Structure 1
Amino acid sequence: MKVKKYMASSMPEAMSMIRKELGNDAVILNSRVVQTGGLFGLFRKKSMEVIAAVDSRPATVEKKRPKEQRSASLPLHPPVQKSNDEIVHEINDLKKMLEQLTIMKHSVNTKLPVRVDQIIKKLQLQEIDQNIIDRIVPALLEFYYLNKASATEEDLINWTKKWMFEKLSPIEPFGGIDFTKKYINVIGPTGVGKTTTLAKIAAKCMIQYQKKVAFITTDTYRISAIDQLKTYANILNVPIEVCYSKEDVQAAIHSLAHCDVVLIDTAGRNFKEQQYVEELKEMFSVDEEICTFLVLSLTTKMQDMKAICEQFSSAPIDAFIFTKLDETSTYGAILNMIFAYEKGVGYMTNGQNVPDDLAEASQEQIVNLMFGEM
């Protein structure tokens, strides 16, 4: 095996040198950023030190024979086909070389290819977590270098969408209520739009799915909240029960037994108050029949979203609802929360209109949002 060390100003330059001297079969053994040049320890610049290797065993060369003899023997010696294992090995070697490019984010002298960089900047503008971007970059570079001659920006965007969709596919649930559970509970901090969202879901259940709907509210801390939900109940002509205790909830569940869907509105409180979360847990005992959505506003800071989710994690959360899409231009938080907690998204809201400004979430919708496509 032939092993050689290369010094270059960037990783792409080093790979070009390696391919030129060692060929496309070369494998990157090691790479690191080093300081070179300078005077008395000053004015030194960063460079890439890359160690590469290639199998130096000579290929078997057929001895020259008369033209007629060679032609006659061709049918007896068809070209040797590579085995699946050899092909997989070559692909893995290519991936190893491409993965080395991820170190470029640690070097000020190394840059992503322009078209790849444009895609990454789009994702950064959406405030997608850097750890997610770090997972995308090596795979996107692999696609780029395998299709360098023809890959357009649109091709790279479509590939990135496909990558996101594949990563989201195993996570569930998505797509609103599936009606396998009768009781739908929405929880979350104050000001995220829980009551309005609940009214939108109720209208959708009635109009689109012809379900018998009812409301339960435990938000007895604010008179205005009760009045708001009562107004929606009157408009939709559905029953509503106001509950002050666990016993009230049990009585309400009994009286609303004839309904297909019971939507439960909870108090909006400071999410840092652990007592509030404990009260939510104690209020309901129909765990096997209750689906709980954590409602989060996209105008909330990412750090606070994670803190809210951690605080409510002791109350089992089935999926997220994201509100106020119309009040922001960055949607990366949706993807960040899905990947961080491996929970799907039931609904997304983009306005105050009931029931119009409510959409059942899908993986495809969320992927499109990452590229500003509503």
Structure 2
Amino acid sequence: MKVKIFKESDLKDCIDKVKNELGEDALIISTKKKKEDDGKEYFEIIASNSENEFDILSELKKELVRLKDLLIIRTEFNNLLNKLIFDEEVLNLYLTLLKKGVCNEYLLDILEEENILSKIHDKRYNCKALFMNALYDKIEVENGYQIMDKPKIIALVGTTGVGKTTTVAKLAAIYMLNKKRNIGIISIDNFRIGAKEQIGKYADIMGIPFFQAFTHKDLNDSINYLSQMDIILVDTAGQSQNDKNKLEYLRRLFSYNHNLDIYLLLSVSSDEAVLLDTIDKFSPLRFKGYIFTKVDEAISHGKILNILIYKRKPISYITNGQDVPEDIEVADKEKILNIILKGKIKNGNQD
């Protein structure tokens, strides 16, 4: 189906032009008389060469349904604003979250769950506090520094360029320097040129034992050798979430050791749809939680809350730069919500 717009000063000339280009059976969708900016009148015809009138009617029906849906959404949105307008703080918080990219459906669910719209006229309630507390409840965090059993084995996985090796170095430095823990590092990044040298250099600078593993036997042997360490950090190769072979290689490699805590790294600067696809494709690894990286490079941060609501798992860490070990933070609810609302960590590390 081909739809075109024709313009002529004379109606007959305009119709003739339609027939010449689209044929005698062309279907005229609309005819209008309009004026140019200088006041000169002309005729505009929208026509199609479709041989099947049903195709045109079907397309028009779809467009009408779309417009109807938009009208319903706009009406519902206006009704919501008319209710929220009675509490300026709640209204501003709602609009800010929308602007930051938080899904409107999730926000409406929160408002409904807390009965905020029905409480907004009741002075006994601090509706903004109710809203904020409900947002905090949607953010699940994990104490990344907590060590129950030794050794604690932490493996980082994710797509290419998400920051796994740098994050391993940051964690190693924090655990060793700030928490006084004994650290070991294992690399199973056997695909990227220079990967061993990069993480090996970090390990050498910090005086941390470092091993490279190629098979599940190498991995288990390295873990056994480092069994007296408090923490063993495992760096993995980055790969596309669509590379089934490499993901299966990781799954089989990890399946022989059930004591691994696997964390999926997600770059906040990536598109939300890509992040959701990454989560789905890495799910066979049964990762424990998220580490959000590149907070400093993201334009909007609402996708963090969307992911935490839609794909519920805890956040352990957030990274906001390349400096080792400064640019990493243990996740807590206040920091995460502050990042979503203001794009920065409250302590000022992130602008």
Q: Who is 1:120 aligned against?
A: 94
Q: Who is 2:111 aligned against?
A: 137
Is 1:212 aligned to residue 186 of structure 2?
no
Asked whether the equivalents of residues 153 and 261 of structure 2 are also in contact (C-alpha less than 8 Å), the reply is yes
- The CA distance in 1 between the partners of 2:73 and 2:251, in whole Å, is 48
Asked whether the equivalents of residues 290 and 317 of structure 2 are also in contact (C-alpha less than 8 Å), the reply is yes
Q: Superposed, which structure 2 residues align to 1:1-374 within 5 Å?
A: 106-107=75-76, 110=79, 112=81, 113-114=84-85, 115=88, 116-138=90-112, 139-147=115-123, 157-168=128-139, 171=140, 173-180=141-148, 182-285=152-255, 287-372=257-342, 374=345
Asked whether the equivalents of residues 138 and 308 of structure 2 are also in contact (C-alpha less than 8 Å), the reply is no
Asked whether the equivalents of residues 128 and 332 of structure 1 are also in contact (C-alpha less than 8 Å), the reply is yes
Asked whether the equivalents of residues 174 and 363 of structure 1 are also in contact (C-alpha less than 8 Å), the reply is no
Residue 221 of structure 1 and its aligned partner are, at CA, apart by 0.9
CA pair 284-370 structure 1, distance change in 2 beyond 3 A: closer
- The CA distance in 2 between the partners of 1:335 and 1:174, in whole Å, is 15
- The CA distance in 1 between the partners of 2:78 and 2:310, in whole Å, is 32
Deviations 1:101-158 (A, max 9, x none): xx885447635133243222101111112221111333332342223xx98xxx6544
Aligned residue for 1:210, secondary structure, equals coil
- The CA distance in 2 between the partners of 1:275 and 1:367, in whole Å, is 37
Deviations 1:262-300 (A, max 9, x none): 100000011111111111111124544211100000011
- The CA distance in 1 between the partners of 2:117 and 2:341, in whole Å, is 19
- The CA distance in 1 between the partners of 2:324 and 2:292, in whole Å, is 16
Tell me the amino acid that sits aligned with residue 117 of structure 1. L
Aligned residue for 2:121, secondary structure, equals helix
Greater shift in the superposed pair: 209-218 or 282-291: 282-291
CA pair 304-104 structure 1, distance change in 2 beyond 3 A: closer
Aligned residue for 1:184, secondary structure, equals strand
Tell me the amino acid that sits aligned with residue 92 of structure 2. Q
Tell me the amino acid that sits aligned with residue 134 of structure 1. L
TM-score where L is the length of structure 2:
0.70
- The CA distance in 1 between the partners of 2:228 and 2:297, in whole Å, is 38
Residue 354 of structure 1 and its aligned partner are, at CA, apart by 0.7
Give the fraction of aligned pairs with identical amino acids, expressed as a percent.
Answer: 29
Asked whether the equivalents of residues 204 and 355 of structure 1 are also in contact (C-alpha less than 8 Å), the reply is yes
Residue 324 of structure 1 and its aligned partner are, at CA, apart by 0.7
Tell me the amino acid that sits aligned with residue 131 of structure 1. E
- The CA distance in 1 between the partners of 2:78 and 2:301, in whole Å, is 31
CA pair 179-286 structure 1, distance change in 2 beyond 3 A: farther
Q: Runs of 5+ in structure 2 lacking a partner? A: 1-67, 346-351
TM-score where L is the length of structure 1:
0.66
Tell me the amino acid that sits aligned with residue 79 of structure 2. T
Residue 187 of structure 1 and its aligned partner are, at CA, apart by 0.4
Q: Who is 2:19 aligned against?
A: none
Aligned length: 265
CA pair 285-313 structure 1, distance change in 2 beyond 3 A: closer
- The CA distance in 2 between the partners of 1:251 and 1:351, in whole Å, is 34
CA pair 104-312 structure 1, distance change in 2 beyond 3 A: closer
Tell me the amino acid that sits aligned with residue 165 of structure 1. Y
Asked whether the equivalents of residues 269 and 299 of structure 2 are also in contact (C-alpha less than 8 Å), the reply is no
